């Protein structure tokens, strides 16, 4: 059992692509969505709107999992079970970093920018396959 992201699968978190974030709803059903995210040293960060269900789920139950499947090999996967913490994003400094990673910016970004926080996922347990 490890909480480190191994070099062998780090590429799955470095590529600017979507990951599957799963939270747990109040009714006990897992809830999965595709998200943009940024590997920031040894943690994963994303920008969430506080009105969204996944934000509310993580505040109530601060355990979430990011999962990536290698698009070139569906048997090569990375699962990061993580503890979630919330920080403000004053002047949207983090959002700008995230958007730059995806080669875009606030002017081109179609989603709302008001009411955004930084959600940090600190790895608790990392599982790799392939």
Q: In which element (H, E) is residue 122 found?
A: strand 116-129
SS3 of 109, please?
A: coil
Contact pick of 81, 85, 92, 96 for a second copy (by CB under 8 A): 81
Closer residue to a second copy, CB minimum distance, 32 or 93: 32
Window of 4-12, 32-40, 89-97, 111-119 that interacts with a second copy by CB under 8 A? 32-40
Our finding on whether 69 is near a second copy (CB under 8 A) is yes
Contact pick of 46, 65, 95, 116 for a second copy (by CB under 8 A): 65
Contact pick of 1, 4, 28, 90 for a second copy (by CB under 8 A): 28
Closest C-alpha to 46, from 6, 13, 1: 13
Q: Are 84 and 78 in contact (CB under 8 A)?
A: no
Contact pick of 3, 31, 113, 122 for a second copy (by CB under 8 A): 31
Q: Which of residues 84-123 bind a second copy (CB under 8 A)?
A: none
CA dihedral 19, 124, 22, 112 (to 10 degrees): -70
How many other CB atoms are found less than 10 A from the CB of residue 89? 21
């Amino acid at each position: 059992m490890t909480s480190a992201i191994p070099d062998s699968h780090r590429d799955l978190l470095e590529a600017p692509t979507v990951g599957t974030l799963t939270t747990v709803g109040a009714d006990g059903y897992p809830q999965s969505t595709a998200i943009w995210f940024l590997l920031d040293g040894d943690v994963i960060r994303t920008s969430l709107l506080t009105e969204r269900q996944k934000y509310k789920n993580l505040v109530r139950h601060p355990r979430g999992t990011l999962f990536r499947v290698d698009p070139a090999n569906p048997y090569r996967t990375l699962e990061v079970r993580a503890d979630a913490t919330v920080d403000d994003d004053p002047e949207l400094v983090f959002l700008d970093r995230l958007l730059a990673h995806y080669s875009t910016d606030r002017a081109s970004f179609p989603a709302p920018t008001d009411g955004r926080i930084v959600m940090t996922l600190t790895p608790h347990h990392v599982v790799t396959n392939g």
